[in-house]
Chains A and B, each alone.
Chain A
Amino acid sequence: MTSAKPTSALQSVVNDLLAELHAKAGGERVGLSRESFAVVLLEVGSKHAGAASHSEARAFFLSLRVDELALARACAAGHNAAWELFLTRYREKLYLAALRIAREDSAARELADTLYADLYGTSTRDGRRVSKLASYTGRGSLEGWLRTVLAQEYVNRYRRTKRLVSLEEESEDGVQFQAPDPEPEPAAASDSRLAQATDEVLGLLSAEDRTVLSAYYLDGRRLAEIARMLGVHESTISRKLDKLAKAMRKQILAALGRRGMSRRQAEEALEIDVRDLQLDIRRHLAQESAPVAFSEKGVEARVREGEG
């Protein structure tokens, strides 16, 4: 992790708030000196608030979870007291989070143990122990950070495993002899206008709307899951999807009209049924990375069930 050079504003703010933040963090208790803590603060500030003004930097530092930041950084530095405190607070929580992610005890223990090793810093770099806890910046809770790290590890591990296993399984199953799955017929000439109109409409949507659509139509997630991800109520997501579907239909019809289609032609092209729209959405929601492999089957099943 490279960090930019701290600006003078950041330096000034850190100097102003160091005593307060160090006391608040309980640095002495975890064996983190004020000077070391100042270094940590400057690092974090440079990474996330490098271009912030004095007031913005001040607000940024005050929003940090400095107590957890100090603990994590003290653990990363190898302070035994901090590590004991960390294990006391988070050992059980880490295992439960791994169990919830992996949904299986052995996999959960393996996942948790792997993370513990990374957190402790079994690997070294330039003779120095490298701990994953050194990457914690205190913007979110340490517990949440640990869950996120676990999830990332799990996703990476599953992707690697799936890629390795699927080829062997497909060979055994005779996949190479399998007829290709019938894909929906490619869009006709008129459908190209539909694709263009769909792309145009999707591009005009906000990031949050596209995230909701992607999570719903691509990932096949339920409304409750999407609501939790975005920190809103499930009914909010439900209403948003309804509004989006109706609004997109209108906008696509209008876009098709601008592309020379009559109202009737546009409706026929769109087939009126909003559920058909999801196929276009899936096709046109630009993805930098596909949904995680292990969830694709679930997506297909839900699509076939006619969700949306």
Chain B
Amino acid sequence: MASAGVARHPDADVLTAFAERSLRGLERDTVLEHLSRCGECREVVSLALPASEPAEVAVKSVRAAWLTWPAMRWGFAAAGIVVVASLAVVLHRRQQSMAADKTSPPAAVSEARNQVVPALSLQDTEKEQDKSKASPSPTGSKDGEETSRVAAHSAHNEAPAALAPIPSYASRVPVAGSLAHGPKMGIQTNLSNQWQQFSANNLVAPVRVSPATPSAASNQAGSDAVVQTQAAAPVPTADNLAAQSQGLSQQVPLGGSAESKVDRAKPLQTAIMDNSRKYAVGVAPSVSRARSAVAGAAQWTISATGGLQRSLDRGATWQDVNVNESDAPGGAGKQQASGEKAPAAIGDQKQAPSEPVFRAVAANGPDVWAGGANGGLYHSVDTGVHWTRIVPLSSGVFLTGDIVTVDFPDPQHGRIATSTSEIWITADAGQSWQKQ
């Protein structure tokens, strides 16, 4: 069949058919055999190729070169390395987040101490206090209730935008701050256990700034005279308030003489409203990262007139903070570390304390200490939403001098210096003091 033998050059027809891949089998092999031995025919075949084929073949060969295993194996290797690196990064970040979550409970606990209770905006509370000055004592539950209600409403409206709604679970978180102050409560890392314990202990009325019945303080069971908080969980929204009130089976009444009793039946929201101008309704038990962020961003200063001021927008604007305490020297006292019951200083207060004149302020995130004239020392664990009057007591001696410096490098350790060169030191967040 083959017409082109090894000895004879294939004719143009055969060479053309070969070049166009029209030859098959033995005939093609015969031509190949000839081409392997004949340079001229190889030249002819090469010259006879159409001009359009080189680009197509080159493109195909380039394309094929990319798709060949030697080229693709490196692509597969690179892809594998990228995948492994991505997994490593993801796992590392996950571990970091898990580690952060593990450490967050303490932070969350501290955050719980510093819950901003919009229902108890100090600013609005101050305004309402001005209105209700005719009734200095919040004994009238009705007045106190109204004041608290208005304060709560105002505070709610004035809740910083940065305070995001607190998750529902946080509503059951008791105030770690209060627990920290309470002798029977310690800072817990497990928030749910903390709440249960808090509920079981029935923390009583918070610190009152207005004169309350002596029995109010006496009802406090082993609680710090200066620190009483309630596991309230107000949130910037009414819904959260309602939800939290449902979650709290035991609340501390916050207003008037009746406030001395623990009204376990009252919803939290009502309890808040019952508070008579009391800022110390307690730190919201909610754990809000937004709030902690706000708390951490708060700045403090003392005005020229000795007023305490706070900025939540990095100094762009400043708000006057009214600690509204009414402690009298010799009255209130902080329980010593020994566990000695503090005098019912709170209950002895019969008059609304005058606005203190501050000289120094120190803040560690939401934990704020402010000191001023006549031994006035106030502590807030929630960026100044709630304040507790602290009356350091050491060996039967109260701090009465003008506080000129307040130094708290951390929430636990503090140093206070007075104008009379007294140095007072605490190592347990103000639960006990030692005078040097």
Which residues of A lie under 8 Å from residue B1 when comparing CB positions? 48-52
Contacts of B17 in A (CB 8 A): 139-140
Neighbouring B residues of A295 by C-beta, 8 Å: 39, 43
Interface stretch among B53-61, B227-235, B312-320, B356-364?
B53-61
Shortest CB–CB separation between residue B49 and chain A, in angstroms?
5
Binds B, one of A27-35, A76-84, A184-192, A224-232: A224-232
Contact indicator B13/A139 (Cβ below 8 Å): yes
**Cβ B16 vs Cβ A290 within 8 A:** no
Q: Is the CB of B43 within 8 A of A151?
A: yes
Task: Please tell me if the beta carbons of B36 and A148 are within 8 angstroms of each other in the complex.
Answer: no
B12 to A227, Cβ gap below 8 A? no
Asked if B42 is at the interface of the complex by the 8 Å CB criterion, the answer is yes
- Is the beta-carbon distance between A96 and B51 smaller than 8 angstroms? yes
Q: How far is the CA of A147 from the CA of B135 in the complex (A)?
A: 117
A235 touches B12 (CB 8 A): no
Tell me, in angstroms, the Cα distance from A203 to B196 when the chains sit together. Answer: 95
Inter-subunit contact B60/A233 (CB<8 Å):
yes
Asked if A219 contacts B42 (CB within 8 A), the reply is yes
Residues of B within 8 A of A207 (CB): 29, 32-33, 35-36
User: Is B14 located at the chain interface by the 8 A CB criterion?
Assistant: yes
**Least Cβ distance of A177 to chain B in Å?**
30
A227 touching B51 by the CB < 8 A rule?
A: no
CB interface residues, A 84-136, toward B, < 8 Å? 96-97, 100-101, 135-136
A291 to B64, CA, bound (A): 31
Q: A135-B11, A137-B13 are in contact. Are A287 and B42 (CB under 8 A)?
A: no
Our pick among B15, B39, B58 for the contact of A290 (Cβ within 8 Å) is: B39
Nearest-CB distance from A246 to chain B (Å)?
15
Give the distance to chain A from B61, nearest Cβ to Cβ, in Å.
3
List A residues at the B interface (Cβ < 8 Å). Answer: 47-52, 63, 96-97, 100-101, 135-141, 143-145, 147-152, 154-155, 159, 206-208, 210-211, 213-215, 218-219, 221, 224-225, 227-229, 231, 233-235, 285-292, 295
State whether A233 and B44 are in contact (beta carbons under 8 Å apart), knowing that A141-B20, A211-B35, A292-B39 are contacts in the complex. Answer: no
- Tell me which residues across on chain B come within 8 A of A155, comparing CB atoms: 40, 43-44, 47
**A229, B42: Cβ atoms closer than 8 Å:** yes
CA distance A136 to B12 in the complex (A): 8
Q: Which residues of B contact A (CB under 8 A)?
A: 1, 3, 6-7, 11-17, 19-23, 29, 32-51, 53-54, 57-58, 60-61, 64-65, 68
- In whole angstroms, what is the CA distance A48 to B4 when docked? 10
Q: Which 7 A-B pairs have the closest CB atoms?
A: A140-B16, A291-B39, A234-B61, A151-B47, A207-B32, A210-B36, A139-B17
Show 19 residue pairs from A and B whose CB-CB distance is below 8 angstroms, ordered by the A residue: A47-B3, A135-B11, A144-B16, A147-B16, A147-B50, A148-B44, A151-B45, A151-B47, A207-B32, A208-B29, A211-B35, A211-B36, A214-B39, A214-B42, A225-B46, A228-B57, A231-B21, A288-B6, A291-B40
C-alpha gap A227/B46 in the complex (Å): 10
- Complex Cα distance A96/B48, Å? 12
Q: Which residues of the other chain, B, contact A136 by a CB distance below 8 angstroms?
A: 12-13
A288 touches B38 (CB 8 A): yes
